[in-house]
């Protein structure tokens, strides 16, 4: 039987692969709510919220009696403000790796312990910095197949190689991810990536700066740039790129050296609805439910038991599938946390010069 005790160590590719091999099973332990309770959840809005409403929110209300109301978009600033003021606009939110590190350091989120979500409901590596990992997306290379009929870049070193793979590039204006690309392009192996060697990363970025036409900030922007042929290759989210493939556009996804960013459910520290908040999170990461939610938006479930409920062709395009995960790197919140402010400041200055 697999060891299913939760851990507070940062989730790594090794943790995930071990859990996948073990086939950890989630056993939800959801109780009935007191009458007329309401839970407020901070969401990304749009298709994300529509999927969450159908697959997570409404079924949770049906099972527990707790009504869910939403506030969007996800806002770290609001999480910080309400924890300080004691006036709670929302009780639950999801945070990416960098924001999770900041929130935990600033004591903005409720501490996890096994009385809140039983160990039997979780899997190895489920808990990171007082949050419970839900789903993940990958920051990948995508390229126009019609521009590279003989095959395009297969690594970040290829992406950086403008002689072998000519064409306009595009990267996200997000240093915690882009610096990982730069270091791998310079030959740093995945297991030596964290914490970042910032000097080496920025020297690597210097080599490609003139070839990066746009530093994108919103997912639709990244899609439009590749769709219109304004760039031939781009570092973008697998969710956005897969949507273009599903529209029969000539786009190729490269999962080799993908940088995985995990969405983690957290509870706002001090909320009077913490009990219901943790109850919802336990519900949301149950394997079959999470599998359906992840598949809807091209995410990868973090609960390894979720893959049992998905067909092979869907699993194959997920960033946390065993095959894709083995050639990817998962952002390490704890090791990056001390560098976040410095890297953000340096990246902003670097872009402006």
Backbone angles phi, psi at 121, to 5 degrees: -90, -5
Cβ–Cβ under 8 Å, residues 325 and 259: no
CB atoms inside a 10 Å sphere around CB 247: 10
**Residue 4 pLDDT > 60:** no
**Residue 13 pLDDT > 80:** no
Tell me which long-range contacts 154-157 makes (C-beta under 8 A, separation of at least 24). Answer: 154/254, 154/256, 155/184, 155/185, 155/254, 155/256, 155/257, 156/181, 156/182, 156/184, 156/185, 156/257, 157/184, 157/185, 157/187
- The pLDDT, as a whole number, for residue 204 is 98
CB atoms inside a 10 Å sphere around CB 285: 28
Under the banding of pLDDT at 50, 70 and 90, the label for residue 302 is very high
Cβ within 8 Å of residue 336, ≥6 positions away: 97, 98, 101, 176, 194, 195, 196
- The pLDDT, as a whole number, for residue 334 is 87
- The pLDDT, as a whole number, for residue 47 is 86
42: enclosing H helix or E strand: strand 38-42
**Residue 23 pLDDT > 70:** no
- The pLDDT, as a whole number, for residue 304 is 95
Under the banding of pLDDT at 50, 70 and 90, the label for residue 29 is very low
Under the banding of pLDDT at 50, 70 and 90, the label for residue 16 is low
**Residue 31 pLDDT > 60:** no
The pair of three-digit structure tokens given for residue 195, joined into one six-digit string: 């914490």
Using DSSP bridges, classify how beta strands 300-301 and 127-128 pair: parallel, antiparallel or unpaired: unpaired
Q: Which residues pair with 169 in a beta bridge?
A: 212
- The pLDDT, as a whole number, for residue 11 is 56
**Residue 2 pLDDT > 50:** no
- pLDDT, the chain, mean: 90
pTM of the shown model: 0.83
267: enclosing H helix or E strand: strand 251-267
% of the chain exceeding 70 in pLDDT: 90
- Over residues 284-310, mean pLDDT: 96
- The pLDDT, as a whole number, for residue 206 is 98
**Residue 10 pLDDT > 60:** no
Instruction: Supply angle C-alpha 134, 191, 107, rounded to 5.
Output: 45
Percent helix, strand and coil across the chain, each to the nearest 5: 45, 20, 35
Distance CA 18, CA 37 (A): 38
**Residue 251 pLDDT > 60:** yes
Tens-digit pLDDT profile for residues 119-171:
889 999 999 999 999 999 999 999 999 999 999 999 999 999 999 999 999 99
**Residue 272 pLDDT > 90:** yes
Cβ–Cβ under 8 Å, residues 129 and 157: no
Instruction: Supply angle C-alpha 335, 263, 315, rounded to 5.
Output: 110
**Residue 15 pLDDT > 80:** no
% of the chain exceeding 90 in pLDDT: 84
Lowest mean pLDDT among 59-63, 198-202, 296-300: 296-300
Nearest to 8 by CA among 118, 127, 122, 91: 127
- The pLDDT, as a whole number, for residue 26 is 42
- The pLDDT, as a whole number, for residue 38 is 97
């Amino acid at each position: 039987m697999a060891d299913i005790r939760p851990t507070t160590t940062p989730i790594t590719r090794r943790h995930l692969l071990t859990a996948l091999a073990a086939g950890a099973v989630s056993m939800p332990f959801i109780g009935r709510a007191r009458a007329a309770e309401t839970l407020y959840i901070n969401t990304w809005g749009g298709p994300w919220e529509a999927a969450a409403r159908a697959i997570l929110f409404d079924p949770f209300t049906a099972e527990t009696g707790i009504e869910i109301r939403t506030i969007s978009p996800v806002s770290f600033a609001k999480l910080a403000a309400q924890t300080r003021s004691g006036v709670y606009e929302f009780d639950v939110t999801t945070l990416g790796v960098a924001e999770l590190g900041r929130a935990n350091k600033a004591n903005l989120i409720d501490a996890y312990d096994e009385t809140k979500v039983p160990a039997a409901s979780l899997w190895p590596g489920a808990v990171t910095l007082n949050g419970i990992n839900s789903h993940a997306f990958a920051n990948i290379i995508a390229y126009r197949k019609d521009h590279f009929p003989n095959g395009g870049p297969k690594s970040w070193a290829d992406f950086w190689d403008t002689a072998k793979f000519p064409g306009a590039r595009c990267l996200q204006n997000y240093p915690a991810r882009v610096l990982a690309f730069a270091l791998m392009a310079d030959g740093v192996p995945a297991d030596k990536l964290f914490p970042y060697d910032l000097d080496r990363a920025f020297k690597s970025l210097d080599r490609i700066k003139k070839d990066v036409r746009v530093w994108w900030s919103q997912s639709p922007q990244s899609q439009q740039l590749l769709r219109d042929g304004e760039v031939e290759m781009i570092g973008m989210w697998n969710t956005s790129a897969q949507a273009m493939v599903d529209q029969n556009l000539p786009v190729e996804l490269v999962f080799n050296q993908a940088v995985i960013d995990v969405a983690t459910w957290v509870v706002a520290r001090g909320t009077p609805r913490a009990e219901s908040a943790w109850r919802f999170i336990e519900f949301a990461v149950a394997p079959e439910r999470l599998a359906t939610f992840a598949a809807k938006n091209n995410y990868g479930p973090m609960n390894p038991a979720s893959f049992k409920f998905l067909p092979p062709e869907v699993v194959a395009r997920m960033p946390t599938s065993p095959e894709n995960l083995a050639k990817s790197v998962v952002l390490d919140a704890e090791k990056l946390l001390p560098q976040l402010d410095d890297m953000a400041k340096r990246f902003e200055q670097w872009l402006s010069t």
